[in-house]
């Protein structure tokens, strides 16, 4: 069975500056991965590569069984959902929540036609699954930051993607909203028809047990990869962050502290 994602010796240069160097990474079907790194580490560059918005200077990329250079990337992107807080800025404040979710089926910002019954039913089901059905009938501007993120995840799922990227989905959320969102993500990942999930984060405690594997990237290089419980330990994370850290596992999550 073909891997969901396969990067072979991938590097990318911008002028004289090497942004990514020698990335080797494979995501198998049935795995959900967390990607951990500081600002400027290369996380976004990897995401852009996976989506075909950037082409590697060297190396090979395959996504969902298709090797880049052999497929129309515009078609491939229809099978990839990408949820980012930056998308929130593009949605009109007075947009109806149901319209936002349904628009994901058409990969558009806003709706320009009526909603078919099947789309309405699917959107409402997704909102129920993600714990935001109470937002039906409301406008986007009346939703909290956490509720907006749930809407964007539901929107991404409208197209039934095979790969879903959650790019710093908890950014800007308070503790309660963050935990509610993480619970929704856990429920999504536990569904038998769940897409492969990639969670991009700065915080180890956001990596719940459903993310069986973690990738650590630093300064454009792959620092560590493997099962989360083997990667997220004091020795590895101390070297990764270049400072002594403590790791306490609670609820299947690694909580980090500075020593």
CATH of the domain at 76: 3.40.50.300
pLDDT of residue 177: 86
Residue 94, both tokens = 């007075």
CA atoms within 13 A on the CB side of 226: 8
Q: pLDDT tens digit string along 1-42?
A: 579 999 999 999 988 888 999 999 999 999 999 999 988 889
Highest mean pLDDT among 92-96, 150-154, 181-185, 223-227: 223-227
**Structural domain of residue 127, as residue ranges?**
5-258
**Element holding 119 (H helix, E strand):** helix 117-129
* pTM of the predicted model as reported, rounded to 2 decimal places: 0.89
Length of the chain equals: 259
Q: pLDDT tens digit string along 128-172?
A: 988 899 999 999 999 998 899 899 999 999 989 999 999 988 887
Mean pLDDT of 168-180: 86
Please tell me the total count of domains within the chain: 1
Q: pLDDT tens digit string along 112-129?
A: 556 788 889 999 999 998
Average pLDDT, the chain: 90
Q: CA 36, CA 204: separation in Å to the nearest integer?
A: 8
Contact indicator for 36, 199 with CB cutoff of 8 Å: no
């Amino acid at each position: 069975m073909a891997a969901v994602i396969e990067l072979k010796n991938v590097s990318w240069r911008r002028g004289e500056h090497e942004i990514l160097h020698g990335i080797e990474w494979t995501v198998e079907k049935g795995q959900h991965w967390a990607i951990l790194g500081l600002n400027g580490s290369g996380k976004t560059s990897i995401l852009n590569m996976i989506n075909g918005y950037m082409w590697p200077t060297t190396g090979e990329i395959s996504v969902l069984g298709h090797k880049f250079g052999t497929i129309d990337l515009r078609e491939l992107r229809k099978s990839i959902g990408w949820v980012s807080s930056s998308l929130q800025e593009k949605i009109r404040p007075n947009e109806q929540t149901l319209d936002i979710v349904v628009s994901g089926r058409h990969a558009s910002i806003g709706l320009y036609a009526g909603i078919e019954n099947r789309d309405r039913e699917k959107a409402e089901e997704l909102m129920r699954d993600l714990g935001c059905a109470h937002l039906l009938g409301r406008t986007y501007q009346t939703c909290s930051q956490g509720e907006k993120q749930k809407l964007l995840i539901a929107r991404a799922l409208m197209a039934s993607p095979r790969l879903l990227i959650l790019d710093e989905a908890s950014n800007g959320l308070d503790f309660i909203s963050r935990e509610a969102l993480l619970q929704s993500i856990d429920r999504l990942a536990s569904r038998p028809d769940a897409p492969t999930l990639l969670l991009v984060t700065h915080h180890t405690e956001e990596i719940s047990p459903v993310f069986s594997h973690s990738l650590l990237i630093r300064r454009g290089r792959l620092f560590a990869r493997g099962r989360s419980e083997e990667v997220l330990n004091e020795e590895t994370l101390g070297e990764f962050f270049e400072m002594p850290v403590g790791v306490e596992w609670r609820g299947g999550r690694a909580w980090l502290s500075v020593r």
